[in-house]
């Protein structure tokens, strides 16, 4: 079996994953810190939007999904950027090896709350390998989640720092760090199947807390693709905004909005700790009270 054939089969058939990985490993990709042959997901990396869709849909569980996300190379501009940042590094981190890959979700997949951000930061998640970890945005959101009793510590500095989420899953709508924190629409759409599958694999999901307008729109897109009912006219993002997204045969998912925990918002006072605490606490309480 040649590599493309193995890739195609593995995307549909988990039993073919080992064979596909062997075929890929024996291929022409030179080993290196960011070479596509350095697989984590057990199947060849996605290199196209169609590949993302197939691999996401076939992921049997969250660990498999996370591994497949971590190997993804479907957006050429973002792959080039994340790896360029990982090679050149910021002066303060020049002695660290950057992750330089996509960032999977983090936290409790059995939880009822999903905290959804925009995309990893170039020297935050793209450096540490964990969403919202190693940058000031992470300082804000994890401190707030800690005050709400949803994580075990108020700081998030490295992937091995002992952080545990008790009642929340945290993920980004786009899994690779984009230049200027601005993914293109095609990159948002290419990445969406990873989020779609992640939500399917969270059977108890009741609340999505969208950090910023981009995440809000991504959550609405997720709802439409999943066949949930979205109010019309489309709910408008705002700090404290709420929309109830009806699911056929299940309780609605509540979408809450918060201003993003970006430095632009937090350093200017547009978002304060009390403002964030109110929304995070509301998300926690709605998740706890949601019918099972
Ligand atoms: S942004 Fe998403 S789809 Fe694009 S390369 Fe990264 S993980 Fe893959």
Local confidence band at 24 (pLDDT 50, 70, 90 cut-offs): very low
Mean pLDDT calculated for residue range 13-27: 38
Q: Which domain holds residue 50?
A: 3-74
Local confidence band at 216 (pLDDT 50, 70, 90 cut-offs): very high
Mean pLDDT calculated for residue range 56-80: 97
Does residue 157 lie within any of the structural domains? yes
Does residue 83 lie within any of the structural domains? no
CB neighbour list of residue 226: distance below 8 Å, 6 or more residues apart: 196, 199, 200, 247
Buried b or exposed e, range 8-38, using 16+ CB within 10 angstroms:
bbbbeeeebbeebbebbeeeebeeeebebbe
Note whether 273 and 177 are same-domain residues. Answer: yes
The confidence score (pLDDT) of residue 178 equals 98
Average pLDDT along the chain: 89
For residues 268 and 159, what is the distance between their CA atoms, to the nearest angstrom?
29
**Residue found by looking up tokens 């994340």 in the block:** 82
3-state helix, strand, coil split of the chain in percent (to 5) is 45, 10, 45
Q: 0.85 cut: is pTM over it?
A: yes
Local confidence band at 42 (pLDDT 50, 70, 90 cut-offs): low
Residue from 165, 164, 186 nearest 174 by CA = 186
Residue whose Cα lies nearest atom 3 of ligand 1: it is 191
Local confidence band at 39 (pLDDT 50, 70, 90 cut-offs): low
Residue from 107, 114, 111, 105 nearest 167 by CA = 111
Note whether 205 and 134 are same-domain residues. Answer: yes
- Sign of the torsion angle spanned by Cα atoms 135, 259, 213, 255: positive
Local confidence band at 40 (pLDDT 50, 70, 90 cut-offs): low
Q: Quick check: 26 pLDDT over 60?
A: no
Residues with CB under 6 A from ligand 1: 52, 69, 72-75, 78-79, 102, 174-176, 187, 190-191
How much distance in Å is there from the Cα of 292 to the middle of ligand 1?
A: 33
Longest dimension (CA), the chain: 58
Among 102, 172, 182, residue to substitute to test ligand 1 (most atoms within 8 Å of Cβ): 102
Q: Is cis: bond before 233, omega within 30 of 0?
A: yes
> How many domains are there within the chain?
2
Residue whose Cα lies nearest atom 4 of ligand 1: it is 75
Ligand 1 atom with the shortest distance to the CA of 72: 8
Does residue 202 lie within any of the structural domains? yes
Residue from 228, 184, 179 nearest 208 by CA = 228
The confidence score (pLDDT) of residue 11 equals 44
Q: Give CA torsion, residues 51, 56, 57, 58, to 10 deg.
A: 90
Note whether 201 and 263 are same-domain residues. Answer: yes
Identify whether the C-beta of residue 170 lies closer than 8 Å to the C-beta of residue 107: yes
- Sign of the torsion angle spanned by Cα atoms 113, 116, 122, 123: negative
Q: Report percent pLDDT > 70 for the chain.
A: 86
Does residue 85 lie within any of the structural domains? no
Residue whose Cα lies nearest atom 2 of ligand 1: it is 191
How much distance in Å is there from the Cα of 148 to the middle of ligand 1?
A: 31
């Amino acid at each position: 079996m040649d590599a493309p054939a193995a890739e195609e089969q593995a995307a549909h058939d988990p039993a073919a994953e080992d064979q596909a990985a062997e075929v890929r490993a024996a291929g022409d990709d030179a080993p290196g810190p960011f070479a596509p042959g350095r697989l984590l997901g057990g199947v060849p990396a996605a290199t196209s939007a169609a590949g993302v869709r197939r691999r996401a849909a076939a992921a049997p569980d969250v660990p498999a999904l996370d591994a497949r996300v971590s190997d993804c190379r479907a957006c050429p501009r973002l792959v080039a950027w994340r790896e360029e940042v990982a090679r050149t590094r910021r002066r303060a981190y020049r002695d660290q090896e950057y992750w330089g890959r996509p960032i999977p979700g983090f936290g409790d997949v059995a939880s009822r709350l999903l905290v959804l951000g925009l995309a990893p930061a170039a020297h935050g998640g793209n450096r540490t390998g964990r969403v919202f970890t190693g940058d000031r945005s992470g300082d804000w959101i994890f401190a707030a989640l800690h005050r709400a009793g949803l994580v075990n510590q108020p700081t998030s500095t490295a992937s091995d720092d002992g952080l545990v989420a008790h009642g929340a899953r945290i993920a980004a709508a786009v899994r690779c760090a984009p230049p200027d924190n601005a993914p293109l629409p095609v990159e948002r759409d290419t990445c969406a199947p990873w989020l779609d599958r992640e939500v399917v694999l969270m059977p108890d999901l009741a609340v999505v807390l969208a950090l910023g307008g981009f995440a809000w729109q991504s959550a609405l897109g997720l709802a439409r693709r999943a066949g949930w009912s979205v109010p019309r006219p489309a709910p408008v993002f705002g700090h404290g905004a709420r929309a109830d997204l009806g699911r056929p045969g299940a309780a609605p998912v509540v979408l809450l909005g918060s201003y993003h925990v970006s430095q632009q918002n937090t350093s200017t006072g547009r978002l304060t700790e009390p403002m964030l605490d109110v929304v995070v606490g509301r998300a926690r309480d709605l998740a706890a009270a949601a019918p099972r």
